[in-house]
Amino acid sequence: MALVGKKAPSFTAAAVINGEEIVDNFSLNQYIGKKHVVFFFYPKDFTFVCPTELHAFQEKLAEFESRGCAVVGCSTDTEQSHWGWLQVDKNHGGIKGVTYPIVADTTKTISLNFDTLFGDYDVDSDNNLVATGPMIAFRGLFLIDKDGVVRHQLINDLPLGRNVDEALRMVDALQYFETKGEVCPANWSKGKDGMTADHKGVADYLTKH
């Protein structure tokens, strides 16, 4: 299901913020009108590829924040599991030092609504999920603008870690379009020219490049 161009599904759930504090009513709605959001899913706490991604987002967190963009992670683990993993040092497979919010999708409904849920399940007559096997999230990533609209999405299979620099590039591209009104061609990066949406702009771009 493509969410691009649509409002991001709303939710309220428990999360760990600032690397240590558990809150019960975390929502992405707090960012509407204020910040762009990179909201990403990962499969499981206490695994192998996942901590490399969470640390990679932390290493670039200041760059996201300098652009007025929040970073929020999410998996189907509990908030207690998140908290425990945050207490474990990086050299022991933990994510100690990660400070952006990590949402606990224990009901699996956030992953389901963002269409990142992986596993065997069905929906009963009361619209409840009934699991017949493990239910975890694929590596989904969603760039959400200040209006709460999804502008970019990417979903990787479980073994395939993401490129955090590419996520940052997409934030740059969206903000460039929003401020300049110009579109971003293939392999565009911050500091390069964009393209206007008229034939003259396309001709000028091709002449320069």
Q: What is the pLDDT of residues 120-174, one digit of tens each?
A: 777 788 877 777 767 899 999 999 999 999 999 999 999 999 999 999 999 999 9
Is 69 an active-site residue? no
- Check 50, 69, 74, 184 and give the catalytic one: 50
d(C-alpha 24, C-alpha 107), whole Å: 14
Predicted local distance difference test score (pLDDT) of residue 27: 98
DSSP state for residue 8 in the 8-state scheme: P
Strands 69-75 and 36-41: parallel
User: Which residues contact residue 23 at a Cβ distance below 8 angstroms, ignoring those fewer than 6 apart?
Assistant: 14, 15, 16, 17
pLDDT confidence bin for 203, thresholds 50/70/90: very low
Q: What is the pTM of this model?
A: 0.87
Residue boundaries of the structural domains of the chain: 13-162, 164-209
Q: Where are the beta strands (DSSP E) in the chain?
A: 13-17, 21-26, 36-41, 69-75, 102-104, 117-123, 129-137, 139-144, 150-156
CA gyration radius, the chain: 18
Q: For the chain, what is the mean pLDDT?
A: 91
Out of 3.20.80.10, 3.40.30.10, 3.40.50.20, 3.30.390.10, select the CATH number for domain 13-162.
3.40.30.10
Mean pLDDT of 101-118: 95
